[in-house]
Amino acid sequence: MTNIILAIESSCDETSASIVKDGKVLNNVVATQSIHQEYGGVVPELASRAHQQSIVPVVDKAMKEVGISPNQLDAIAFTRGPGLLGALLVGTSFAKSMALALGIPLIDVNHMQAHILAHFIDDPKPNFPFICLTVSGGHTQLVLVKGHTKMEVIGQTKDDAVGEAFDKAAKMLGLSYPGGPLIDKYAKLGDATKFTFPNTSMPGLDYSFSGIKTAILYFLRDELKKDPDFITKNLHDLSASIQSALIKMLLNKLKRAAREHNIKEIAIAGGVSANTGLRDALEQMKVENGWNVYIPDFQYCTDNAGMIAMAAYFKYQAKEFVGLEVGPLARMPIN
């Protein structure tokens, strides 16, 4: 039987809505909040207010774009967590009200599971079990994916997320927020071997990015003492060298995880999977290691409701619904 689900994402600084019909994601409307640029990072209170302003027009646009009216919907899905509590609350409350008004089921979606399930929106789709390196502004995880909702974290960062490391390094270089995409842009014009930064990973499959962040800070401080124009003169080479050091750390552990679990189905997901250096390095490793590699389309790397819609479809099939008493969870484990 046909099913149509409206999905809403509001975990951080993107308000997004998407419609999925019989497992096919029809669209992905995203409103990015530019207000945070002035502050060099996401300001939670401003994020909540911006979600409140955008949610009605974004949902309305998603429905109208594909000619779906509210009474045609079979379920409403929303990001329950992890994320900023106030931001999540906007999407959760909106979804609950709409489900109540329409008398249809409500589906809660885990944001990190959804990043991984974005791989099921388009072909080719990974085969189970696969390993997904999930890299975003809030998370860095190696996930063993055994099924659409059966996931196990086998390695993760003990401090900062890699997206945060990109953004903080960018801030030190005087770039605006979010700096990850800018480092990516400038790195294309630079020499990645010009400067070296330490590999500060943890033992086993875990990561740590606080050490490399401090190393970059001290290196720049010392160089700026010698030459106040050091950053301006070396922006491209610095971007390329920082990006290369972060990617090496990510991929060393990914390679180790693949070897230890004897898996050749490899995926990446999350905002940092939009990084062209990471995507290119992975393509190279695919050849060297005989992997099948799955890299999401750019629109499904950073936060979007298309991935929430995809995850919601699998939960709808399994009839995994929640009641109206459900609330957001800022820290929601992947399973």
Instruction: Tell me if residue 120 falls in helix, strand or coil.
Output: helix
The β-bridge partners of 5 are 20, 75
- 207 interface partner picked from Zn ion, ligand KG4, none, CB below 5 to 8 A per type: none
The pair phi, psi for residue 78, each rounded to 5°, is -150, 155
Sign of CA dihedral 161, 121, 19, 62: positive
Among 105, 155, 163, 190, binds ligand KG4 (CB under 6 A): 163
Q: Token pair for residue 191?
A: 């020499």
Q: Token pair for residue 180?
A: 């990850």
- 54 interface partner picked from Zn ion, ligand KG4, none, CB below 5 to 8 A per type: none
Position 160 contacts ligand KG4 (CB under 6 A): no
83/105 with CB nearer ligand KG4: 83
Point out which residues bind Zn ion (CB under 5 A). 136, 303
The β-bridge partners of 281 are none
- Residues in CB range of 35: below 8 A, 6 or more apart: 43, 46, 50
| Binding piece for ligand KG4, criterion CB under 6 A, among 29-37, 52-60, 134-142, 192-200 | 134-142
Residue 169: its H or E element: helix 162-172
166/314 with CB nearer ligand KG4: 166
Cα 78 to its chain centre, rounded Å, is 16
**Is residue 8 within 8 Å of residue 79, measured between CB atoms?**
yes
- 180 interface partner picked from ligand KG4, Zn ion, none, CB below 5 to 8 A per type: ligand KG4
- Residue closest to 80 by CA, chosen among 311, 319, 328, 286: 328
276/289 with CB nearer ligand KG4: 276
What part of residues 36-75 is at the interface with ligand KG4 (CB under 6 A)? none
Position 211 contacts ligand KG4 (CB under 6 A): no
| DSSP calls for 187-234 | HTTS-TTSS-----PPSTT-B--HHHHHHHHHHHHHHHHH-TTHHHHH
Among 303, 308, 312, 315, binds ligand KG4 (CB under 6 A): 303
Query: Smallest distance, Å, CB 8 to ligand KG4?
Result: 15
Among 270, 296, 306, 328, binds ligand KG4 (CB under 6 A): 270
Instruction: Tell me if residue 87 falls in helix, strand or coil.
Output: helix
92/275 with CB nearer ligand KG4: 275
**Is residue 5 within 8 Å of residue 73, measured between CB atoms?**
yes
The pair phi, psi for residue 325, each rounded to 5°, is -80, -10
Position 167 contacts ligand KG4 (CB under 6 A): yes
177/291 with CB nearer ligand KG4: 177
- 237 interface partner picked from ligand KG4, Zn ion, none, CB below 5 to 8 A per type: none
What part of residues 168-197 is at the interface with ligand KG4 (CB under 6 A)? 178, 180-181, 184
Among 99, 235, 267, 272, binds ligand KG4 (CB under 6 A): 272
Report the distance separating Cα 96 and Cα 294, nearest Å: 34
105/178 with CB nearer ligand KG4: 178
Among 136, 141, 234, 239, binds ligand KG4 (CB under 6 A): 136
Binding site for ligand KG4 (CB under 6 A): 12, 136-138, 163, 166-167, 178, 180-181, 184, 270-272, 274-275, 302-303
